[in-house]
Amino acid sequence: MEIAGNRASESPPHLCPRPPTLASSPLHFIDTDRVIGGHCHCELSARLCQLPGLPVFCNMDMAIQGVENEAFGFLVKQGAEARVFKSTFVGRLSIVKERFSKKYRHPLLDSKLTVKRLNMEVRCMTKARRLGVPTPVLYAVDPILHTLTFEYVDGLSVKEILLDFGLNGIVEEQLNDIAIQIGTAMGKMHDGGLIHGDLTTSNMIIRGETNHLVLIDFGLSFTSTIPEDKAVDLYVLERALLSMHSSCGNVMMYMLVVLPVQMEKILSAYRKSSKQWSSTMNKLAQVRQRGRKRTMVG
C-alpha cells in the first residue's frame, strides 16, 4: 500500500514523443548508401511537455514549428502532402522536402505509407534522370524525418515566365525553345514507362544560366506503360496551360496565339522524342473528349 501511495503521489510521466532532429536522425546518402547515425537528444521537447497548459498528448508538430524551420531552413512553400525549405547541404544551396505526418492516420500506418511514398518519389526521380530527363541532383534521403534533400535550381518556373507574357514582353523564340524542351522530356519519360502525375507549369523550372528545363516534384509519379496514363499526363499539362489565361497580362493574345502554338510545339516535340507517340495521341483524343463532357455536365 505504501508503494502504491508513493506511485500515486508521483507526477505521471509525460507521453509526448521526442521530436526528431537533424542531429538525431540517420541520414541515407545516395552515393554511399550508408547510414550516418547520431544519438544527440533534443531537450526542447521535454521542456515543452513540462510547460503548464500543454496537454499530455501534445501536438509536437505544432509546438516546435519554429524549431523545425530552423532545422530544415527557410520555409518556401507548404502543400497538402509536404513542406519545402530552402537550405544548405555541405556548403551548397539545397532544397529540403519534408513529407509530414497525417494526424488522422494511425501512427504506424502513417509512417509506413509516408516512407513508401518517399521511396517511390526517389525511385521515379532517379529513373527520370537515367532516362535523360533533366531533374535536380538528389543529395540525401532521410527515412526517419521523411525528407529529401536535393539541388537548388536557380531560375524561374515556366508559369512565372508565361505570366510575364504581355507585361514585360518575352521573346517568342524563348517560348518555342521551352515548348520543345517540355515535349522532348515528356517523350523520353513516357517511353521509359514513367508517368510524372503532376505536369503543371509550376513543376518546370528554366535554369537562369543555361535556359535548360528542369522537371521537379515527382511526389505523384509512378511507373506505367499504359497509353491512357501517358495521355492523362499530357492532358494535365494542357489543362494547366489553359487555366493560366486569366492571370496573363494579355489574355486574348495568350488564348489565340501563345496557347495553341505552344501546345502544338510541345506535341510535335513529343512525337519526335517518343517511339510510342501514336497510341498515346489516340488516347489523348479520348481523354480530351471525356474532359469536355465532364466540364459541360459540371
Q: What positions carry a catalytic annotation?
A: 198
Q: Write out the three cell numbers for 104.
A: 488522422
Q: Phi and psi (nearest 5°) for 101?
A: -75, 155
Cβ-in-10-Å burial (0-12, 13-18, 19+) of 189 comes to buried
For the chain, give the longest Cα–Cα distance.
Answer: 87
What Å distances lie between residue 65 and 40, 121, 147, 175, CA to CA? Answer: 19, 25, 16, 40
Angle between helices 277-297 and 259-273 (to 10 degrees): 150
Question: How far apart, in whole angstroms, are the C-alpha atoms of residue 78 and residue 208?
Answer: 24
Question: How far apart, in whole angstroms, are the C-alpha atoms of residue 202 and residue 188?
Answer: 20
Angle between helices 227-242 and 172-191 (to 10 degrees): 160
Question: How far apart, in whole angstroms, are the C-alpha atoms of residue 185 and residue 148?
Answer: 23
User: What are the residues facing 87 on neighbouring strands?
Assistant: 94
The one-character DSSP state at 257 is I
Q: Phi and psi (nearest 5°) for 25?
A: -110, 145
By three-state DSSP, how is residue 152 classified? coil
Closest CA to 287 of 241, 232, 236: 232
Residue 215: which H helix or E strand, with range? strand 213-215
